[in-house]
Amino acid sequence: MQEARYPLTLYCLLLALVFAVPARAQGNDGLINRIEALQAGYPVSVLESRLYAKEALTRFYEARGYTLAWEDPSNRRELLEAIRAVAGDGLNPRDYHYDTLAALALKDLNDSAEELQTDLDLVLSDAFLLLASHLHHGKVNPTTIHAEWTANRQQREMQSVLSEALASGTVYTTLQDLKPRSAAYHQLVQRRKALGELISADWPAIVSGPSIRPGDTDNRIPDIRRRLALLGDLSGDSPEASNHQHYDDALATAIPLFQARHGLEPDGIVGRDTLTALNLLPLERIYRLDANLERWRWLPESLGETYVVVNIAGFELVLVESGEQVHRQRVIVGRPYRQTPVFSDRIRYLVFNPTWTVPRKLMIEDQLPIIRSDPEYLERLGFKVFRGWGANQSEVDPAEIDWTELSKNNFPYQLIQQPGPQNALGQVKFMFPNQYDIYLHDTPAQSLFSRLERTLSSGCIRLERPFELAERLLANTNGWNKKRIEQTLATAEPATVVLSEPVPVYLQYWTTWIDPAGVLQFRNDVYDRDRRLLQALRADSEGGQSLTPRADNRPTARTD
């Protein structure tokens, strides 16, 4: 009896193993084989096109029992039309198997070999899933600045989106609806189209030379006049006037407008920077738009009813309420070597009369050299010096410290600036705790806001008119108004106020955008981020990159 148990036990074990192995799916064998190869991690190419949407393709075909999905030629036609159209959004149709599909998708495949039908079905599905992902999330992963080819970021179940689009026969409109809904995005698309019409225009470089002022006569003025007319800054110019070499009243109006929308001093003087902006090629302008269209695709579908946007490259903050810009002001952002990062969060509380605990890096790199050269610096600006941290912290008389002996590896102190008019954070800071230790704050250095390029901080965002923003953000927090803010400031004691409802804040980097007046704005790429983003955006699916022309040879500094 004892010997008979082993064969029975072995039989049961084998039976369990058989039922533990999933049965091979029923359906189109070609689909099953290719999906299994994808799941196993093999690179799968069909019709000379590699399949990329591994997980989404698997879920899509599993859900439909491994049957063909694109038998309706109208669905294939709509997909091809949608792929062709994304060139207007700054995306490359070839990334979505356009060449392969253009040759096959519109043909009658009823009499074609089953293998061809299967392969085409897979390519069509892969194209839709990739394009849907790129329109909805962006092609480039903002955290790595690499092109995203998996189509597996799960903000939306794209395989479900594909199933619904095929069932309803709405492939084209479904893909269109995945684009950012913001009017600002679609306005940029329209301006991109208009700039595309200028690519074939004669665009000779306007040569450098002495600055041109109102009333001057210069042989470069006809080219300047034609350039401004093409870009829409000068209207109503007669053919006769276009050849005049005199800086007249029409130019005196058009040139400051052009300068202002390029972030230049609108003084009407055509100097080096204005000539550089005038010489920017239509294609270079289109590249700028492409980079910023991609940045829009990184943002969530809805920014909220009330939110704050800081445009780092534009040195501006905007508060939006119910879709309307109700407040805007100038800001100061991080220096090129201490760049303000791009991210989103929520403003949760404000601190009036804040203290400033100097970050260790700033203590060593910025404060220590000043203290050594100016013994009265700490007292004059209201700093206290502490040894240790937390419960063991104790105040130290700065006069007892030999500051010449301190260094990066020997700095056992903390510097804390007390509330007051000289505090580096001013009298209020807006907190959205984040991994970068970035926040918005007041500043005593108000004169710096008169500068056009304001990359002057250590990373945080300084506000020109912080109390106007504070008053608006606290409008829905019980008991807080302008009078109470003034009373709190008068105490000179730190006070924390939690917002009744956190307000989303988006720190963005837009080098071109449409302003509320409908004017296309351009700004300098102060952190040199556009080029790297464009290289990633133009990277093909095999990992190659197409280089983008640029006006200078500065090295890439940082990603978005």
Task: Say how far apart CA 340 and CA 358 lie, in whole Å.
Answer: 17
Task: Say how far apart CA 84 and CA 214 lie, in whole Å.
Answer: 47
Is 12 annotated as catalytic?
no
Tell the residue number behind the tokens 């698309």, with chain if given: 189
Task: Say how far apart CA 89 and CA 46 lie, in whole Å.
Answer: 27
In degrees, to the nearest 5, what angle opens at C-alpha 118 toward C-alphas 112 and 121? 105
**Is the dihedral angle over the CA atoms 389, 395, 397, 400 positive or is it negative?**
negative
Is 460 annotated as catalytic?
yes
3-state class of 546 per DSSP? Answer: coil
Task: Say how far apart CA 482 and CA 202 lie, in whole Å.
Answer: 56
Angle between helices 73-85 and 114-137 (to 10 degrees): 40
Task: Say how far apart CA 214 and CA 219 lie, in whole Å.
Answer: 14
- Ramachandran region of residue 459, left (φ > 0), alpha (ψ -120 to 50) or beta? left
Task: Say how far apart CA 224 and CA 205 lie, in whole Å.
Answer: 10
In degrees, to the nearest 5, what angle opens at C-alpha 25 toward C-alphas 23 and 29? 130
Query: Count of CB atoms within 10 A of residue 167's CB?
Result: 10
Burial 78-97 (b: 16+ CB within 10 A, else e): bbbebbeebeebbbbbebbb
Task: Say how far apart CA 427 and CA 449 lie, in whole Å.
Answer: 17
Give the type of residue at 284. E
DSSP string, 323-334: TEEEEEEEEEEE
Tell the residue number behind the tokens 């955006």, with chain if given: 537
Task: Say how far apart CA 206 and CA 244 lie, in whole Å.
Answer: 16
Give the type of residue at 473. L
Task: Say how far apart CA 363 and CA 377 lie, in whole Å.
Answer: 13
> Are the C-beta atoms of 395 and 418 separated by less than 8 Å?
no
3-state class of 146 per DSSP? Answer: strand
Pair type for strands 356-357 and 413-417: antiparallel
Residues labelled catalytic: 441, 460
